[in-house]
Amino acid sequence: MSEQGVAPIRGNFVEVNQGPWAGWWRWSGKDPFEDGTGPFHVKRDERGIVTAFIPEHKNLNGHGIVHGGALMTFADFSLFMIAGSAGDEINGVTVTMNCEFVSGAQAGQLLTARGELVREGRSLVFARGTILCGDVPVLSFSGTIKRARVSSH
């Protein structure tokens, strides 16, 4: 186990074993843009996949609320987690993402996202979800992921 109760487990994730995120998996630093926005967390509970993010001051816009770009980055991360909820991690790129901003959020508030896998095809995966602050919807999103081709070379 490494510092701060984080143990490498599989893929691009590390399991958090202590502190407020104990029991969650954290994206482990493979995406500089997401790392600069997050950290983002994911786990499976009795209701399915849930992702979480606590925005910081760095995530605020000029009006003092969480920037739409930070919310959309968290939504994109969540899209992939939801899309992969039926099996293994989905490797690919987002080809479409639609977002509707429903309400604002503040720094320090726990944001969670849940959703559903709509359809999983050979090359495209469709999913949708909602980011919540408590029970209050903050952003609804839907998107399409194009699977990456795996080279055998």
CATH of the domain at 105: 3.10.129.10
What's residue 113's pLDDT?
A: 98
In a domain, 98, yes or no: yes
Spell out, as residue ranges, where the chain has pLDDT lower than 70.
Answer: 1-11, 29, 86-89, 150-153
From the list 73, 7, 3, the residue with the least C-alpha distance to 35 is 73
What's residue 84's pLDDT?
A: 83
In a domain, 91, yes or no: yes
Please, which residues have CB within 8 angstroms of residue 52's CB and are 6 or more apart in sequence?
A: 24, 40, 41, 42, 43, 110, 111, 112, 113
What's residue 152's pLDDT?
A: 53
What's residue 150's pLDDT?
A: 62
Residue range 57-78, pLDDT digits in tens: 999 999 999 999 999 999 999 9
The count of structural domains within the chain is 1
In a domain, 48, yes or no: yes
Q: What pTM, to 2 d.p., does this model score?
A: 0.87
In a domain, 153, yes or no: no
Domain of residue 39: give its range: 3-147
